[in-house]
Amino acid sequence: MKTDLNNLCVQNTFASDSGQTNENPKWFKFIHYLNSKHSAGFGGGCLNEYYGVNDGREFVEIEIPDGVELITIDQALDIINFFYFNDRNKTFYVQRPSQSGDDWDEFIAELNKNGTSFDGTQDPGAYGLSNGMPKCIGENGMSNLMFPMITIEEGTRLLKFITNHKEHMENTTVETYNGDEHPLVNCVQLCDGSAHDGAYALNTDTVWSRPHGGHILRDEATQDRYGHWFNEDYADDLDYVWSEYNDSWLCTNWHDTVYGYTSRRNEEYFVSDEYVYAGSQYFADSNIANEHGYYYDDHDGEWYHEDDERPSQVSRYNSGYHSGRGRGWKAGDKPKFTVGFEIEKEDNDAGCIPWQGVYGRTGWIKESDGSLDEDGYELVSPIFNLYTDDVDKEIDSDKELQRLIDAEYSDNCGGHINLGSSMYTPAQLFEGLSAFMPLMYSMYTGRLTRSYCQAKEKYKYRSSSDKYASVFIKDQVVEFRIFPAVRSVKNLIWRRDFLRLMCDNINKSELDVLKMLVNQNSKMYKHMRKIYSQDELLEKTKLFIYYSERFNDKKLPPIDPKKFKKGDDNITDSTEDLGA
């Protein structure tokens, strides 16, 4: 078998026009090789016809062309596997069988034709070629192989092919493109990127061209920016352009090739690690971008044109969203309950207070938040002990922190509070305080249907963790998202004290909470009267009864408004300034 790689074919006895090419993996692989290696477009469905290459060009014919060798599909796949689909090039192994026979002896004999004298007894072991050289590997080598073993039959057939191919290459003489004759083993065939497409040339007179997918003559070859050889005569076909900026050839299809300005007036294709993309244009570097009126904002991390309308300046005074700063621990050792605040504001004046100073003095971090307007910020507190006055003292000691909490707000803003405990898991903590949820629903009715803090039936909080519900049960804390924007420092402290009363009464029932609301001597009643008049509290209590049944599945008795409104003259009516 002479096996000239540029003149061989296989008869299609496998698939027809009925579309069964894919059902025979060997035939499918051969057709895929012709289509990918030789740019053919064969479907492989012409039954009994011959598919192959003739002088390096693909064909499908009824009869075998002159000078083309008919080979079996297995021989064709050996060639494909060995020369084109094996990136390790001439590397394969066969594992020694537990009981060797004549087929194993034949394989070892074929392997030893390559200058070795293996006896084939390594057990466990595998034998084959590594980069064309015979090799035996043991158990460790077998475990580290990056590709599967082949069978003894496949290995023997492949070795025979290699031997025949070597003999053919060594004993065959070809005429090269310039009329000389040389042994085939010293020659390669030129690809269509050469002016001598299909002709042979000495290997030493050629270079491998990745863009062309084959060999071209050195005399025809030019290198691009990355050292790839190509024929400059085919630059347009390969999408190559000359870049004055890079002083080299570039392919416009490369991922790092862009078209833009390389000077004040010149536009061309270029590659630059320092390029700038601004205003839907590319610039080779920042200096050229500056010449075109673009400037970089270090805080925003964006390029702006000098004529652009700039965004609010608040963002430049904020730390990045969830920057990793903040949430420092100021709760001491083993607190029973901890509390942390997330205060959202929209105020251009207060927003221009730089975050660094407040953070450095107090540990409260002022961050940007994409859910807010351009003058918005989120103020994230450290974690405090719920039952100490450390929050009060820290706010009183820092005027800028007070100003940030007292700042303006809109309906976009929230006042989330994170509650933790060393005695309860987050799920247990939620369950123990769940009787107070209908009361919070009655206080913040405008938040119940918001997409980012929706009220849910109690069992749904337990069955699924929803970040955008009124309550979010996290890994370490329970986040109460039902709270709206914090009005002021006083409002924040009122909410903190409200949570204290809840934790004082953990594991109480909805009926217990109702009794607190109608008992004018209870701490909860007195705390609620700081923000609600008697009439307002009566309406909130009625809503509490309704929401207890609606969301917690707890039916409570109605209240008598006359008994509820017995005198509490010692309690000062609420003020709008404090609020819930």
Q: What is the mean pLDDT of residues 10-19?
A: 72
Task: Please give the pLDDT value at position 487.
Answer: 96
Q: Are 200 and 177 in contact (CB under 8 A)?
A: yes
What average pLDDT score do residues 484-492 get? 96
Say if residue 218's pLDDT is above 70: yes
| Residue 249 · residue 231 · CB < 8 Å | no
> Is 78's pLDDT higher than 90?
no
Residue predicted with more confidence, 77 or 574: 77
Output the pLDDT for position 312: 67
Report the pLDDT value the prediction gives residue 41, as an integer from 0 to 100. Answer: 77
List pLDDT tens digits, range 451-466: 888 999 999 988 777 7
Residue 100 reports pLDDT greater than 60: yes
Residues 6+ apart with CB under 8 A from 143: none
Please state, in angstroms and rounded to a whole number, the distance separating the CA atoms of residues 84 and 77.
10
CB-based contacts of 197, cutoff 8 Å, min separation 6: 190, 191
Confidence at 418, pLDDT banded by 50, 70, 90 = very high
pLDDT band at 86 (very low <50, low <70, confident <90, very high): very low
Q: How confident is the model at residue 89 (pLDDT cuts 50, 70, 90)?
A: very low
Is the pLDDT at 354 greater than 60? The verdict is yes
Model confidence at 83: pLDDT above 80: no
Cα 111–chain centre separation: 47
Structure tokens at 315: 């963002």
Q: What is the mean pLDDT of the chain?
A: 88
Encode pLDDT of 129-168 as tens digits.
Answer: 887 789 999 988 888 776 668 899 988 988 887 787 777 7
The answer to whether residues 392 and 338 touch, using CB atoms and an 8 Å cutoff, is no
Q: What pLDDT does 22 receive?
A: 52
- Per-residue pLDDT at 39 exceeds 70: no
Angle (CA) 494-500-503 rounded to 5° is 145
Report d(CA 435, CA 513) in Å as an integer: 7
Is the pLDDT reported for residue 317 higher than 60?
yes
How much is the average pLDDT of 414-422?
96
For residue 428, report the phi and psi dihedrals to the nearest 5 degrees.
-65, -40
Residue 577's pLDDT band, with cuts at 50, 70 and 90, is low
What percent of the chain is modeled with pLDDT above 70? Answer: 90
Confidence tier at 324 by pLDDT (50, 70, 90): low
| Per-residue pLDDT at 23 | 63
Is the pLDDT higher at 323 or at 216? 216
CA distance 552 to 548: 5
DSSP 54-97: ETTEEEEESSPPTTPEE--HHHHHHHHHHHTS-TTSS-EEEEPP
How many C-beta atoms lie closer than 10 Å to residue 261's C-beta? 22
* pLDDT above 90 for 521: yes
Q: Is the pLDDT of residue 85 over 60?
A: no
Q: Check whether 326 has a pLDDT greater than 90.
A: no
Of the candidates 157, 230, 215, which has an alpha carbon nearest to the alpha carbon of residue 3?
Answer: 157
Average pLDDT over residues 519-532: 95
| Residue with tokens 């913040």, as numbered in its chain | 444
Q: What is the pTM of this model?
A: 0.50
Token pair for 4:
């000239």
Q: Can you say whether residue 13 is alpha, beta or left, with left for phi > 0 and alpha for psi between -120 and 50 degrees? A: alpha
**Cα gap 264→245, rounded to integer Å:** 13
- Is the confidence at residue 33, as pLDDT, over 90? no
